[in-house]
């Protein structure tokens, strides 16, 4: 095909050699810090699966709070953020790079638009994992190659870049997509890769059982997966035999854990506890201990991605990595777990899915 597309035969050839070539190029290689984007010697970096790219173990989730302290900005009129909102993101963006963060994960048109402007206005770059919650495959109408290419093209336009690091379409919360849809995802990726629009393939889903199933069948094609991994999950998942992280290791796939604080439910639980005891809640310390507990429990996790609204939050959260050699005490781990369990009981209706997935 001369339009940059890809035939079924070409797709098969590319798919067969993709994982082998990437793995051969990175296996046994020691990381060259000069090649780590936004490198800071205080930050811990982990290998993003077969890509060999080193990602900051504390990275940036795309969501942040709006002016009223409510939920994230999903979109902006004409893709143009208000000046004060752009100023906030620019400041956080620059600080993230300064402290060593080099990966951003986004899921809305508004996030693509504002972070694209961040890159343009500040000159600071990051590896970006992208999907659009409106244009993604959660909607049955978006499950064709044509519609998936539209999602990629809209992301490139809003981000103001020519090639994205990771296209990671958002699957249904429970997964369960048809074989045809999954094959369309692969065909779209190889088509977009041939056209120079996408570097690596990922996917986002919250049902970890389904994620493991996908990786068992298609893991040679995937470079990364984004899935729910919060403070509640720490004691259970590492001990699962034949579970998700064993497949991640087998297929050499990068792993990004989202919603580490249960959509801030972890902090609401802490505030409630403090109110009952008449004490001032230590939100900063709780954040560090929560992130550190996740990183200690999951050595195969590439990064955890808390959303960060202020520069102060960035400076605080990276301490979970900066202070990684000072491990949590058993009492600290138990306190994090207690708050995590309590937070699941306090989730608002729109975040009830976190509690449902925590039981899977």
For 42-73, the DSSP string reads TS-EEE-GGG--EEESB-EES----TTS-SPP
Token readout for 317 is: 């959260």
Q: How confident is the model at residue 13 (pLDDT cuts 50, 70, 90)?
A: low
Q: Which residue has tokens 């519609």? A: 147
Residue for token pair 């954040």: 287
When the pLDDT of each residue in the chain is averaged and rounded to a whole number, the result is: 90
Could you give the 3-state DSSP secondary structure of residue 36?
coil
Mean pLDDT of 270-284: 91
Closest CA to 155 of 131, 138, 191: 131
Average pLDDT over residues 172-181: 95
What is the C-alpha to C-alpha distance for residues 186 and 12, in angstroms, rounded to an integer? 10
Domains parsed from the chain with CATH numbers? 29-358 (3.20.20.100)
Of 347, 231, 341, 346, the closest CA to residue 286 belongs to 231
Under 8 Å CB-to-CB from 151, ≥6 apart: which residues? 131, 132, 135, 136, 142, 167, 169
Instruction: For Cα atoms 314, 224, 233, give the angle at the middle one, nearest 5 degrees.
Output: 65
276 by Cβ neighbours in 10 Å (0-12 / 13-18 / 19+) ranks as: exposed
Q: With a threshold of 0.75, does the pTM exceed it?
A: yes
* 230-272: pLDDT as tens digits: 998 876 665 566 789 999 999 999 999 999 999 889 999 999 9
Contact 307, 61 (CB under 8 A): yes
Please give the backbone phi and psi of residue 359, each rounded to the nearest 5 degrees, phi first. -90, -10
Q: Report the 10 Å Cβ neighbour count for 153.
A: 14
């Amino acid at each position: 095909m001369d339009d940059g597309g890809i035939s079924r035969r070409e797709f098969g050839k590319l798919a067969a050699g993709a994982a082998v070539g990437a793995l051969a190029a990175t296996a046994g290689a020691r990381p060259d810090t000069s090649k780590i984007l936004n490198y800071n010697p205080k930050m811990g970096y982990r290998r993003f699966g077969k890509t060999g790219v080193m990602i900051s173990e504390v990275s940036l989730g795309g969501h942040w709070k709006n002016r009223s302290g409510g939920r994230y900005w999903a979109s902006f009129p004409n893709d143009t953020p208000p000046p004060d909102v752009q100023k906030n993101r620019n400041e956080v963006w620059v600080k993230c790079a300064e402290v060593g963060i080099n990966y951003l994960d986004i899921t809305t048109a508004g996030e693509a638009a504002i972070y694209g402007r961040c890159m343009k206005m500040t000159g600071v770059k990051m590896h970006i994992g992208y999907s659009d919650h409106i244009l993604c495959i959660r909607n049955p109408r978006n499950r064709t190659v044509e519609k998936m290419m539209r999602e990629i093209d809209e992301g490139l336009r809003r981000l103001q870049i020519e090639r994205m690091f990771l296209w990671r379409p958002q699957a249904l919360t429970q997964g369960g997509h048809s074989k045809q849809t999954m094959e369309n995802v692969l065909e779209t990726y190889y088509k977009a890769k041939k056209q120079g629009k996408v570097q690596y393939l990922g996917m986002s889903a919250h049902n970890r059982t389904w994620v493991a199933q996908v990786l068992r069948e298609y893991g040679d094609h995937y470079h990364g997966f984004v899935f729910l991994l919060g403070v509640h999950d720490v004691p259970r998942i590492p001990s699962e035999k034949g579970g998700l992280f064993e497949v991640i290791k087998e297929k050499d796939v990068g792993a990004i854990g989202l919603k580490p604080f249960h959509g801030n439910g972890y902090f609401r639980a802490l505030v409630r506890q403090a109110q009952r005891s008449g004490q001032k809640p230590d939100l900063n310390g709780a954040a560090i201990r929560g992130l550190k507990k996740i990183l200690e429990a999951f050595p195969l996790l590439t990064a955890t991605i808390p959303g960060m609204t202020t520069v102060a939050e960035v400076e605080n959260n990276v301490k979970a990595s900066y202070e990684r050699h000072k491990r949590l005490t058993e009492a600290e781990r138990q306190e994090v777990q207690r708050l995590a369990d309590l937070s699941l009981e306090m989730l608002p209706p729109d975040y009830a899915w976190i509690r449902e997935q925590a039981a899977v």
